[in-house]
């Protein structure tokens, strides 16, 4: 049997981070044993056995170069991100966002990774991180309970839990387009990618009233204690409505930048639907993550005139989100402080979001590869968005450590003398310059 030139790295989890880490290793000739428990054991949110399944939205966020998610994508593409490469190949229309046909995207990644000669794909649950050799933990926010208990024993009881929620999907042909219109925000031609479902004041108030009194799925055990720690960026729509009757229309249902062609006016509130597959047959209800019972979701969302006869292909749901206390556990190279042969990437490090999970997975894979190739591990400079994110999750001085997405708030102390717009421009141009220098020396 042919002997591999390099030792094998064990990657736990074939999600966004685990796949990106795997790719960074195999492209440098390093073999990987990739351990994934699905479909034998499901997480409660994933539905398939495919690699890199997107559990909720099919959007990887803004693609605009002057937005933080856009800048992060640019940095990751400079480092040859495999996930982003596939995402651009399987892109569906979504205005300025990068959204994908989720099934085609995951199928292509599974085909490539499972069939790669340097990948030994193992379909089983990991119950610990191997003691010997190099390993990358990338089991995500829904890490199995057995592995969580290993992590809790290994790193101490500093694990935190909180909730997130996923939005429903409806079939395109069940949307009543006589009560909806296609447009992006500030789209002058009225030919955008989003389907907008306008509501009058009366319709909106009825919707909110029913939303707050609708029956929810009961929450049990440990998860109940953590309920207060809803992550704000992914709050269930009923929780938003509970915080004030106008909150949804100043939040996910805001009508700003939209004109209803039937009235020539801005609607009182708008529920936006975003295309969810290449065929354009699925649409997700943007910002409508929810923990209502399935029957109540159908009843309440059908109050929206365009969704009166909506056919729900997937209902929204709540889920657990686990993450480690990275400032205590992790170095900015993504190695653990206690064992430099262990790396961690993805949402379990305390980053929030698809692209952020890809980014930390990429860095974990890159540094694991560099060490095996007898090079020094690297840390992206804090002036870059990937660097700022890594700095955030490994910064020891947080009062309470909460998950974070890539955003310009991470650069708080830079260029304070400038006004908001010029400061953002300066942060971006500086980040680009510094990242180029960083990438050039790899």
Q: Tokens in use for 410?
A: 């991470």
For ligand FAD, the closer of residues 98 and 253 by Cβ is 98
For ligand FAD, the closer of residues 321 and 335 by Cβ is 321
Question: Shortest distance, CB of residue 345 to ligand FAD, whole angstroms?
Answer: 7
Question: Shortest distance, CB of residue 145 to ligand FAD, whole angstroms?
Answer: 9
Question: Shortest distance, CB of residue 341 to ligand FAD, whole angstroms?
Answer: 19
For ligand FAD, the closer of residues 289 and 384 by Cβ is 289
E strand spans, 103-188:
119-123, 135-137, 160-166, 169-171, 181-182
For ligand FAD, the closer of residues 139 and 384 by Cβ is 139
For ligand FAD, the closer of residues 42 and 209 by Cβ is 42
Question: Shortest distance, CB of residue 64 to ligand FAD, whole angstroms?
Answer: 16
Contact (CB, 8 A) for 84 and 358: yes
Secondary structure (3-state) at 261: coil
For ligand FAD, the closer of residues 199 and 237 by Cβ is 237
Q: Tokens in use for 163?
A: 């909730």
Q: Is 381 exposed, middle or buried (0-12, 13-18, 19+ CB in 10 A)?
A: middle
Question: Shortest distance, CB of residue 48 to ligand FAD, whole angstroms?
Answer: 10
Q: Tokens in use for 222?
A: 């440990």
- How many other CB atoms are found less than 10 A from the CB of residue 378? 16
Footprint of ligand FAD on this chain (CB under 6 A)? 12-18, 35-38, 43, 45-46, 55-57, 125-126, 138-144, 147, 164, 166, 319, 321, 346-348, 353-354, 357
For ligand FAD, the closer of residues 53 and 184 by Cβ is 53
The Cα 15–Cα 346 span in angstroms is 9
Question: Shortest distance, CB of residue 33 to ligand FAD, whole angstroms?
Answer: 12
User: Beta strand 9-12 with 32-36: parallel, antiparallel or unpaired?
Assistant: parallel
Element (H, E) at 423: helix 420-440
E strand spans, 167-311:
169-171, 181-182, 195-199, 269-275, 282-285
For ligand FAD, the closer of residues 36 and 239 by Cβ is 36
For residue 356, what are the contacts with CB-CB under 8 A and spacing of at least 6?
A: 72, 347, 389, 404, 405, 406
For ligand FAD, the closer of residues 164 and 184 by Cβ is 164
Question: Shortest distance, CB of residue 196 to ligand FAD, whole angstroms?
Answer: 20
Question: Shortest distance, CB of residue 274 to ligand FAD, whole angstroms?
Answer: 11
The Cα 360–Cα 351 span in angstroms is 8
Of residues 64, 91, 59, 102, the one with CA closest to residue 274: 59
Question: Shortest distance, CB of residue 60 to ligand FAD, whole angstroms?
Answer: 7
User: What DSSP line would sit under 73-102, residue for residue?
Assistant: HHHHHHTT-HHHHHHHHTEE--TTEEEE-H
The Cα 409–Cα 315 span in angstroms is 33
Question: Shortest distance, CB of residue 359 to ligand FAD, whole angstroms?
Answer: 10
Q: Which residue is nearest to ligand FAD (CB)?
A: 15
For ligand FAD, the closer of residues 197 and 348 by Cβ is 348
The Cα 314–Cα 402 span in angstroms is 29
């Amino acid at each position: 049997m042919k002997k591999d030139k390099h030792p094998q790295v064990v990657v736990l989890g074939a999600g966004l981070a685990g796949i990106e880490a795997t790719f960074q290793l195999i492209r440098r000739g390093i073999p990987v044993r990739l351990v994934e428990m699905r479909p034998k054991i499901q997480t409660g949110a994933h539905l398939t056995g495919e690699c890199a399944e997107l559990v909720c939205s099919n959007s990887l966020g803004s693609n605009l170069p002057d937005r933080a998610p856009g800048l992060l994508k640019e940095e990751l593409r400079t480092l040859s991100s495999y996930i982003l490469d596939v995402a651009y190949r399987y892109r569906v229309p979504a205005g300025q966002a990068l959204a994908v046909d989720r099934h085609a995207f995951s199928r292509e990644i599974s085909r490539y990774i499972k069939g790669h000669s340097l990948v030994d794909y193992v379909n089983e649950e990991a119950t610990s991180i191997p003691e010997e050799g190099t390993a990358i933990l990338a089991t995500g926010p829904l890490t199995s309970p057995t592995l969580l208990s290993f992590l809790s024993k290994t790193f101490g009881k500093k694990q935190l839990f909180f909730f997130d929620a996923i939005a429903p999907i409806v079939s395109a042909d069940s949307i009543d387009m006589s009560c909806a219109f296609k447009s992006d925000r500030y789209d002058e031609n009225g030919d955008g990618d989003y389907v907008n479902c306008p509501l009058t004041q009366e319709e909106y108030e009825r919707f909110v009233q029913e939303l707050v009194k609708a029956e929810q799925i009961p929450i049990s055990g440990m998860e109940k204690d953590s309920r207060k720690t809803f992550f704000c960026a992914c709050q269930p729509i009923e929780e938003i409505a509970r915080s004030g009757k106008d909150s949804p229309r100043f939040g996910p249902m805001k009508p700003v930048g939209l004109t209803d062609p039937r009235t020539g006016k801005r609607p009182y509130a708008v529920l936006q639907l975003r295309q969810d597959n290449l065929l354009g047959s699925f649409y997700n209800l943007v910002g409508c993550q929810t923990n209502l019972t399935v029957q109540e979701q159908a009843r309440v969302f059908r109050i929206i005139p365009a969704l009166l006869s909506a056919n729900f292909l997937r209902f929204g749901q709540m889920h657990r989100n686990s993450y480690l206390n990275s400032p205590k556990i992790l170095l900015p190279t993504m190695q653990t402080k206690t064992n430099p042969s262990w790396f961690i990437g993805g949402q379990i490090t305390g980053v929030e979001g698809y692209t952020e999970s890809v980014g930390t997975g990429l860095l974990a894979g890159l540094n694991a590869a560099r060490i095996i190739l007898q090079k020094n591990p690297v840390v992206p400079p804090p002036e870059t968005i990937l660097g700022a994110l890594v700095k955030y999750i490994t910064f020891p001085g947080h009062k309470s450590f909460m998950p974070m997405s890539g955003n310009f708030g991470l650069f708080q102390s830079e260029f304070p003398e400038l006004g908001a717009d010029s400061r953002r421009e300066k942060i971006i141009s500086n980040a680009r310059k510094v990242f180029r220098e960083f990438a050039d020396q790899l």
